[in-house]
Amino acid sequence: MRRAYESPVWTMPMLTPIPFRPDEAHRRLYRSALGQYATGVTVITTMTDDGPTGMTVNSFTSVSLDPPLVLWCLADNSQRYDVFSGARTYAINVLHSGQYELAMVFAKDGGHFTEANSFAGALGAPVLRDALAVFECRLEQTVAVGDHSVIVGRVDQLSYREGDPLIFQGGHFGTFSG
């Protein structure tokens, strides 16, 4: 992935917008178009009665600076829906470019914590030691919208360091290269 476009935008092919219809083909197009939006990758972590758990998420975004509010979107059909929609506290761990494997394992299931890769944060949610940034949150609000729930959290603790992010775009993982 490049830091800047190498060719001027006017050489790009013209796009032809099509009306969205609620069928399978259009749903695929919709997903593909959404996938063009490059995002970072996070693992949302929380503590449960059965131990720590986590899930790979790229829908994280900031909402408000004052008060400090952030959101992510949780799919209604996730097998981990009850755990994460009910979590009173959780941490949002922003992954660095070397954490592709971690993103993949936390996409499959939630239990990939070791003392080497994590510790209990101030709110009880696990913090991934190597993350680029961590936002430890208290649940502020959950809003059911369409087939997802928007989970809004109030940031209680934060930390960050400089480094290259893990990026997700068009179904591929990558990072910046100079």
Ligand X SMILES: Cc1cc2nc3c(=O)[nH]c(=O)nc-3n(C[C@H](O)[C@H](O)[C@H](O)COP(=O)(O)O)c2cc1C
How many residues make up the chain in this entry?
178
**CA dist., res. 72 & res. 43, Å (int):** 11
**CA dist., res. 135 & res. 139, Å (int):** 12
Looking at beta carbons only, is 9 or 145 nearer to ligand X?
A: 145
* Three-class SS state of 83: helix
**CA dist., res. 21 & res. 15, Å (int):** 18
Output the smallest distance, CB 39 to ligand X, in A: 8
Looking at beta carbons only, is 71 or 134 nearer to ligand X?
A: 71
Looking at beta carbons only, is 103 or 155 nearer to ligand X?
A: 103
Output the smallest distance, CB 138 to ligand X, in A: 20
Looking at beta carbons only, is 19 or 166 nearer to ligand X?
A: 166
Looking at beta carbons only, is 78 or 175 nearer to ligand X?
A: 78
Q: Binding residues for ligand X, per CB under 6 A?
A: 41, 55-59, 72-75, 78-80, 103, 107, 168
DSSP 30: H
Output the smallest distance, CB 165 to ligand X, in A: 12
Output the smallest distance, CB 37 to ligand X, in A: 12
83, 137, 169, 160 alpha-carbon torsion, rounded to 10°: -140
Output the smallest distance, CB 110 to ligand X, in A: 8
Q: Which two structure tokens, joined as six digits, stand for 161?
A: 């360091």
Say if residues 67 and 61 touch (Cβ distance below 8 Å): no
Shortest-Cβ-distance residue relative to ligand X: 59
